[in-house]
Structure 1
Amino acid sequence: MPIFSEINIEKIEWKNIQHCCTFVEDDMISQDGLYNDFNHIKSKYIVLREKYDGITKQVQSFILSNLGTSKRAEAPLHDEDSAHDDGCNATNDFDSDSNDDDEHNAKCHKEQKENLSIRSDYLWAYLLDGERVPNLQKLVQFVFAIPVSNGYCETVFSHMKYLWNNNRNRMKQNLVRAEEKIKMNTNCTSTAFYDHLLNKSDLLKQIRSSNK
């Protein structure tokens, strides 16, 4: 979802957020609540951008204050892979002495400089910090693959104790990985899965064969 890599939150429109929601289950996010959350955070971004020496320094200060001492040197505060705005480059292809072009170029290069000095995930973490925007928070967590708690990871390790024990230590890692994915990501009951297999003769043949 490239829209969440956009540093200038003001450029993001509601239709972009709606498109991202198509990748998430409907019952996870309220559209009305998400609309209110998005407008609130967007307004917050616009206000903060004009205060305290710009949004970049605010995000950098926030990230450094929340990282452990050992991780501060490891975590880059800017996104070195950020692309420049093509609109700025296009303007530079023409020789013009007009003040409008000069102002446009100056604005573009200022935005480029700021965009290269901040990471999008850090920006969203800063904007969401301390805010009650549950619907937007769920969407951002989904986009950046951020677990809402360590409960999911603990469940994975709990399953691993039974999937790869002393009696099953010859299983290949790919098989264990496949079992984990099924256990963690499916809501299908054992009875429903059994009935599904009975109706899939081709799948049953593959299960019985040695070529899996």
Structure 2
Amino acid sequence: GLTSIGADNTNVNMGNNHSVYTLFNNEIENLFKGNCYCHILHNGVKWGHQQLTVDIEKFLVMTYAHFSHSAKRIEELKSYHEFYEQDFHVLLKHIKIRWLSLYSSIERLLLVYKPVKSYFSDQLNKEIPKELENHFQSEETLCVLSFLHHVLFEIQKTNLELQKECITAIDSYRIITSLQYKLKQRLNTGFFGIHCRQMLDRIPSDTSIELQASFVRFISTFLEYADKYFSQNVAILEAIGHFGNGIENLTWSRIQKCIELTKIEGLNEDNLFNEFTELKLTFEIIKKKQVPLFDQIQFFLSNEQEKDTNTSLPMTIRQNEMDEEEQEDQTNVIRSYQLWAMLFAVNATPTPNMKKLICFLYSIPASNAYVECVFSDMKHIY
């Protein structure tokens, strides 16, 4: 049956009065509210941006628009790249409703900042808007850009992780609390990136103090917005998060806590305890084999793929391989849901109660990124 509603966080979807969630919840008791944390992070940045002294979004849009429909201006800009002996890179358009465009636009602008700044500082060019000229001559604008580039890197990385096919609500607690910790460390230490700090030391002290205060407000506002949604489900997310570590460190008390919070119907706790104990024993046996656990899981997945080539498993394997390639240390990553699947398959006796519990928990989404991708694909098709 239906376990959760995964959607963005508008009132029509997740509000308390006559929303999609409440209408379903009236029919299905204990329906989980699957807030989309990709939307939450994006909107948190939007609210935090209002605390800054410079409207960076407007600045990026104006800069891009200046070149977007003029081949002549682009050719003029290329001459400045040649002067600095720098490869030409087109500016990236920032679209306010796109999750990941702000960081990418800032990163690209900073990459080509010197030639672009020289272009907008040319006093002989009468086509340059005065507002853009002032921005590029201002150290304050560059300082805010550097701050956002530093902070948005962590938010961008978190957003991308939440969009992965293998991520579910089981991973949400780990992912969101990690981001919260990293941003709180920046608040506590006042560190907003080395380039930002160097510029803060150069500019007048009163401007520097004002900028640092705005940076603190940005991070605080972002954290407050994210926590408004995260705190609603933090107890459940923390409880189910233990299942994401596999079975080795999972305890019966944590399973009981999870059942208490999720209120899954139809579970026989006596049988569930026995099944959990059997699976723990099975895990200990396979862990003692000479073949590494990761290789055992990959062998199991390969066999499952051969059994039924019409299932979605091949796509899942390819996605996992792509995800693993993105890991900075390139280590072999054991996905918890793959481990659970193998344990259920190799265990000597059926474990229907544990399987029902695991299937319920892994069905809860961390975001609706997949649906958003479908929308984008359909837009291109039509």
Higher-Rg structure is 2
* TM superposition score normalised by structure 1: 0.47
